[in-house]
């Protein structure tokens, strides 16, 4: 493997290098890219541009919105108090990725730009209504995550553009949860589900549900969101509603069969995970409310 390796110290420098060598690839933690190169799944690019030493791309800023730099290691995200407080689904999704060594190197931007259908952070960020900031020499633009993830390995990134940050708006009283199943702890998800709602007068509002690994990209589960919108906590712990949750969760997905699981199993699992996520989030809320009384 022979290629130039650049380690720019600023975003301007990185974007300049990308313009000079259009076929160059950005690399952050390298846990996807270097593995793909080693296994010869992709042809070696003429140059690698490392994003690890660019201050603008690293770290978490807690302003009105939380701004997570794309090259922030996953460990820092899982440990951040604001992430844990307001974005539990994301914190959990990050925590289950690979091993601690992987999470120390791997970045949030890499997980999204690699655009694997099984990327764990994608469904979590979808339920948090995340936006992404894309930077190029022409300036920056912001797009909702759903418009960024276009297909298996496909994103809205244009040539010479870099993912700069993920933007998250805290929502008062929002609760969320992420669940997934892989064959083993270190394996990619066979299916994953994230749920978020805001509890108002004992009812779930602004419900968001998303699934991963069961379509070319992580996707929101519209029929299930409609079913749960306005539902009471007690209902969400009842067999009746949970049966309908299992069915609704499977409607919009399009799973494939591969070495990890069959399409049929992925579909069943999505229903099971969705029901488990809804019930467990509802039970958690009831316990909290009970304790406060």
Ligand X SMILES: Cc1cc2nc3c(=O)[nH]c(=O)nc-3n(C[C@H](O)[C@H](O)[C@H](O)COP(=O)(O)OP(=O)(O)OC[C@H]3O[C@@H](n4cnc5c(N)ncnc54)[C@H](O)[C@@H]3O)c2cc1C
Pairing outcome for strands 162-168 and 60-62: unpaired
- Distance in Å, CB of 187 to ligand X, minimum: 7
Q: Does 97 bind ligand X (CB under 6 A)?
A: yes
- Distance in Å, CB of 210 to ligand X, minimum: 14
**Any idea of the CA torsion for 156, 134, 159, 21, to the nearest 10 degrees?**
-150
Q: Which residues make beta-bridge pairs with 209?
A: 195
Task: Return the DSSP state at 188.
Answer: P
Q: Does 135 bind ligand X (CB under 6 A)?
A: no
Q: Which is nearer to ligand X, 180 or 246 (CB)?
A: 180
Q: Which is nearer to ligand X, 189 or 204 (CB)?
A: 189
Cβ atoms 118, 189 nearer than 8 A: yes
Stretch that binds ligand X, among 79-87, 102-110, 137-145, 221-229 (CB under 6 A): 102-110
- Distance in Å, CB of 121 to ligand X, minimum: 7
Question: What phi and psi values does residue 239 have, to the nearest 5 degrees?
Answer: -55, -40
Q: Which is nearer to ligand X, 114 or 206 (CB)?
A: 114
Q: Which helix (H) or strand (E) holds 224?
A: helix 222-228
Residue from 8, 14, 31, 160 in contact with ligand X (CB under 6 A): 31
Q: Does 30 bind ligand X (CB under 6 A)?
A: yes
End-to-end CA distance of the chain: 64
Stretch that binds ligand X, among 114-122, 213-221, 228-236, 276-284 (CB under 6 A): 114-122
Token pair, residue 15, equals 């974007």
Cβ atoms 255, 214 nearer than 8 A: yes
Compute the distance between CA of residue 248 and CA of residue 102 in angstroms, rounded to an integer. 35
Residues 6+ apart with CB under 8 A from 237: 279, 282, 283, 286
Q: Which is nearer to ligand X, 227 or 273 (CB)?
A: 273
- Distance in Å, CB of 272 to ligand X, minimum: 19
- Distance in Å, CB of 170 to ligand X, minimum: 23
Q: Does 8 bind ligand X (CB under 6 A)?
A: no
> Segment 178-197, which members bind ligand X (CB under 6 A)?
186, 188
Q: Does 136 bind ligand X (CB under 6 A)?
A: no
Closest CA to 172 of 200, 145, 194: 200
Q: Which residues bind ligand X (CB under 6 A)?
A: 25-33, 35, 51, 70-71, 97-98, 102, 105-107, 109-111, 113-114, 118-120, 157, 162-163, 186, 188
């Amino acid at each position: 493997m022979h290629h130039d390796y650049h380690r720019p110290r600023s975003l301007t420098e990185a974007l300049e290098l990308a313009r000079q060598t259009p076929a160059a690839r950005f690399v952050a933690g390298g846990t996807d890219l270097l593995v793909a190169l080693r296994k010869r799944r992709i042809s070696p690019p003429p140059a690698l541009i490392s994003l690890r030493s660019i201050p603008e791309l690293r770290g978490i800023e807690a302003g009105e919105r939380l701004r997570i730099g794309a090259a922030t290691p996953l460990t820092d995200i899982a440990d951040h108090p604001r992430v844990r407080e307001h974005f539990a689904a994301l914190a959990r999704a990050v925590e289950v990725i690979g091993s601690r060594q992987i999470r120390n190197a791997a970045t949030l931007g890499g997980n999204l730009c690699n655009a694997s259908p099984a990327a764990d952070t994608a469904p979590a960020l979808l339920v948090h209504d995340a936006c992404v900031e894309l930077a190029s020499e022409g300036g920056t633009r912001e797009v909702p995550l759903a418009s960024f993830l276009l297909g298996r390995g496909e994103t809205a990134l244009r040539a010479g553009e870099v993912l700069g940050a993920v933007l998250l708006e805290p929502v008062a009283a929002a609760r969320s949860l992420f669940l997934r199943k892989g064959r083993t702890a270190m394996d990619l998800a066979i299916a994953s589900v994230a749920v978020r709602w805001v509890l108002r007068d004992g009812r779930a509002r602004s419900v968001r549900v998303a699934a991963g690994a069961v379509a070319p990209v992580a996707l929101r589960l519209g029929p299930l969101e409609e079913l749960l919108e306005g539902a009471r906590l007690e209902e969400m712990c009842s067999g009746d509603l949970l049966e309908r949750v299992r069915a609704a969760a499977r409607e919009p997905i399009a799973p494939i069969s591969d070495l990890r699981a069959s399409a049929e199993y992925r579909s069943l699992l999505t229903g099971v995970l969705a029901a488990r996520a809804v019930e467990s989030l509802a039970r958690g809320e009831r316990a909290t409310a009970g304790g406060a009384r």
